Amino acid sequence: MTKKILVVYYTQTGQLRNIVQSLTKPLTEDSGYDLHFEELKPKPPFPFPYNADEFFQVMPESVAGIPCELEPLSLKGDEHFDLVMVAWQPWYLSPSIPIHAFFQHPVGKVLIKGKPIVTIVGSRNMWVMAHETIRGYIREAGGKLVGNILFYDKAPNLLSVVSVIRWMFHGKSERYLWIFPPSGVSAKDIAGASVYGEIIREAFIKGSFDKLQQDLVAAGAVEVKTSLAMIEKRGKVMFRIWSDFIRRKGPYGARSRVLRVRMFKYYLLFVIYLVSPLASAVYWLIKPFRKKTIQQQISLYQSVSCE
């Protein structure tokens, strides 16, 4: 019987669409699989490129999990799928607003209920805290997370910040001034994504997803940088405080909260360039004394348990 797969994704730049297309190529080229691609479309769409105020305006709602309105989905929720794949991106250590909207959507919840789920993350480099939220959504909807695949920008953290800001504000992702690397997931990693599609296809052939994540991890699907995870944990706490502080002045896009949004912008730049290097230095000093704890964290973030 033909296996039916639902692939849900949201993209602004087109990068996540490219990742999804590359990853699913072994399945789309096999007549034994029928894939339905559902692109989430916010109503109205989020801008790209952004201006500075627009870019930071999305932080409070992303962190608070406040959804946007979506264009009507092409599905009603009563369709049968053997696997659901959700490709998503973090915004400010949380899932992007359109992804919040899908997981909170009545149809989205029905599509996930009782289904095996594979998540595909397209990230700059911090994704752990956002993925914990995704796990929670899947658990609440009654789905079963069976696989997670990570794609991220492997450039040095402080250089990639400049690259991604240039991309978001000017729509330019190529190398800049010979110093700053191209922004986003590398073309090589996107082209190589099909290896994970092959692993998923093999799981279908075996008739079980029980070892899917184990096989994905063995193929390099989830690289955990525990030094960044430590920064994420502390950053998420502060982002929640800032989110509440900004939202008290009005909803998304309100001019009344622009001043507080700009205050957050300067706070974030201060943290990235002054606080995070110090935190990383502390991490490398204590790392030899926390090997067991670090390994436990890696195992946790590579796992698919929704408990």
Return the half-sphere exposure (C-beta side, CA atoms, 13 A cut-off) of residue 122: 27
Strand pairing partners for 121?
88, 150
Digit-coded pLDDT (tens) for 245-301: 999 999 999 999 999 999 999 999 898 888 777 777 776 777 777 778 878 878 878
The pLDDT of residue 1 = 84
Q: Evaluate whether residue 156 is within a structural domain.
A: yes
The Cβ of residue 302 has, within 10 Å, a number of other Cβ atoms equal to 17
Digit-coded pLDDT (tens) for 99-119: 999 999 999 999 999 999 999
The pLDDT of residue 297 = 79
The pLDDT of residue 254 = 93
Average pLDDT, stretch 25-52? 96
* Residue 155 to residue 183: CA distance in whole angstroms: 8
pTM of the entire predicted model: 0.92
Q: Evaluate whether residue 159 is within a structural domain.
A: yes
The pLDDT of residue 145 = 97
> What backbone phi and psi angles, to 5 degrees, belong to 135?
-55, -45
**How is residue 301 written in tokens?**
């973030």
Digit-coded pLDDT (tens) for 169-210: 999 999 988 899 999 999 999 999 999 999 999 999 999 999
Looking up tokens 């002054």 gives 274
Average pLDDT, stretch 121-149? 96
**Is the bond leading into 49 cis (omega within 30 degrees of zero)?**
yes
Listed in sequence order, the DSSP H helices in 147-248 are 157-170, 187-191, 194-206, 212-218, 226-247
Q: Evaluate whether residue 249 is within a structural domain.
A: no
Digit-coded pLDDT (tens) for 209-223: 999 999 999 999 999
For the chain, what is the domain count? 1
Q: Evaluate whether residue 237 is within a structural domain.
A: no
Q: Evaluate whether residue 263 is within a structural domain.
A: no
Residue 5's pLDDT band, with cuts at 50, 70 and 90, is very high
The pLDDT of residue 295 = 83
Digit-coded pLDDT (tens) for 62-101: 999 999 999 999 999 999 999 999 999 999 999 999 999 9
The string of DSSP letters for 107-159 reads HHHHHHTT-EEEEEEEESS--HHHHHHHHHHHHHHT-EEEEEEEEE--S-HHH
Strand pairing partners for 20?
none
Average pLDDT, stretch 120-148? 96
Domain residues for the domain of 166 are 3-229+296-302
Q: Evaluate whether residue 16 is within a structural domain.
A: yes
CA dist list (Å): 192 to 140, 168, 174, 182: 33, 25, 20, 18
Residue 12 above 70 pLDDT? Answer: yes
CATH number for the domain spanning 157: value is: 3.40.50.360
Give the helix/strand (H/E) hosting 88: strand 83-88
Q: Evaluate whether residue 268 is within a structural domain.
A: no
Strand pairing partners for 180?
176
Q: Evaluate whether residue 104 is within a structural domain.
A: yes
The pLDDT of residue 274 = 81
> What backbone phi and psi angles, to 5 degrees, belong to 197?
-65, -35
The pLDDT of residue 6 = 98
Residue 306 above 60 pLDDT? Answer: no
